[in-house]
Amino acid sequence: MLNVRAIAPAFVIGLLVLAASSASAANVRVVHASPDAPAVDVLANGGVLFGNAAFTQATNYAAVPAGNYAIGINVAGTATTAFSTNLDVPATGDVTIAAIGLLGGSPAFTLQPYIDDNTIIFDRARIRFIHLSPNAPAVDITTIAGDILFGDVTFTENAGYISVPGGTYGLQVRLAGTSSVVLDIGNLNVNNGTVYSVFAMGLVGGLGAQALSAVTVVDAIPTPGALALLGVGGLIAVRRRR
């Protein structure tokens, strides 16, 4: 199953973002990849940073000042804290924080940060794959013909970025090193000048919303000004986060 999502609408950011205008800050988003967790609010130092994020959803990026934060994961709309930890936010760059694992099983629920590279190449699409399915073994991401794009990717692993011409690609998830298909992703349509993340989410053998799936998120697109300059060859790589 291919689940293509644009970035979710902006959530409540609060005073942290106001402070970011006068401090070093990173662009941070959250991806909810815990199949047995309900929709959640993400709190930083007691304030809601992102609200009502549901399974498979990615939030917008929010500018967050550098520092160490007490992070709470609450059941959405309540004061019930399901998980808490401390996280360091860097002084610059783009960061995805994935909520992974299982609230009621193993591997246990946790937060996993990933550094994002949202550099845009105008004549290529950039794609990365991250394995966030808690009970899936190591996998290869292949074309239908069996060409390996990302090989031997294990749970929580960021397989890095590849650059391909814009177009439509039929993709499959296979058991690593074999021809056994565990998920037919289907056709992935990608555009030049755009950065994508593909996340394996859900459970092998899961039912309904918890079924194993590939969730594709648009991470970055060109700025309008960069598109205007493209005709004169003025820019090679720029960023515009979604």
Claim to verify: residue 93 and residue 32 sit in the same structural domain: yes
20-29 tens-digit pLDDT: 444 699 999 9
26-48 tens-digit pLDDT: 999 999 999 999 999 999 999 99
Q: What is the C-alpha separation between 97 and 127, in angstroms, rounded? A: 18
Q: What is the C-alpha separation between 180 and 90, in angstroms, rounded? A: 40
Claim to verify: residue 107 and residue 154 sit in the same structural domain: no
Both structure tokens of 138: 């190591």
Claim to verify: residue 220 and residue 169 sit in the same structural domain: yes
Average pLDDT over residues 160-184: 98
Average pLDDT for the chain: 88
Q: Pairing state of beta strands 194-201 and 125-131?
A: parallel
Claim to verify: residue 137 and residue 206 sit in the same structural domain: yes
**Domain end (from 86, 116, 146):** 116
Percent of the chain with pLDDT over 70: 83
Residue 5 has pLDDT above 70, yes or no: no
pLDDT for 106 equals 97
Residue 238 has pLDDT above 70, yes or no: no
Residue 9 has pLDDT above 50, yes or no: no
Claim to verify: residue 144 and residue 239 sit in the same structural domain: yes
Q: What is the C-alpha separation between 208 and 215, in angstroms, rounded? A: 15
Domain hosting 205: range is 117-242
Report the b/e string of 217-239 with b at 16+ CB within 10 A.
bbbbbbeeebeeebeeeebeebb
pLDDT for 12 equals 37
Claim to verify: residue 140 and residue 86 sit in the same structural domain: no
Average pLDDT over residues 178-196: 97
Q: What is the C-alpha separation between 43 and 134, in angstroms, rounded? A: 24
pLDDT for 225 equals 55
Residue 184 has pLDDT above 80, yes or no: yes
Claim to verify: residue 185 and residue 223 sit in the same structural domain: yes
Both structure tokens of 30: 């959250």
- Around 183, how many Cα atoms within 13 Å sit in the side-chain half-sphere? 28
103-120 tens-digit pLDDT: 999 999 999 999 999 999
CA 162 to chain CA mean position, Å = 16
pLDDT for 60 equals 96
CA 84 to chain CA mean position, Å = 20
> What confidence category does residue 223 fall into, taking pLDDT thresholds of 50, 70 and 90?
confident
**Domain end (from 116, 135, 150):** 116
Q: Cis link prior to 107 (omega < 30° from 0)?
A: yes
The answer to whether 109 and 42 have CB atoms below 8 angstroms apart is no
CATH number, domain of 67, equals: 2.60.40
Per DSSP (E only), the strands in the chain are 2-5, 25-32, 40-44, 47-53, 62-65, 67-75, 81-89, 94-100, 110-116, 125-131, 139-143, 148-153, 158-164, 167-175, 181-190, 194-201, 213-220
Claim to verify: residue 109 and residue 130 sit in the same structural domain: no
The answer to whether 214 and 3 have CB atoms below 8 angstroms apart is yes
Q: What is the C-alpha separation between 70 and 183, in angstroms, rounded? A: 37
Q: What is the Rg, in whole angstroms, of the alpha carbon atoms belonging to the chain?
A: 18
Average pLDDT over residues 114-133: 98
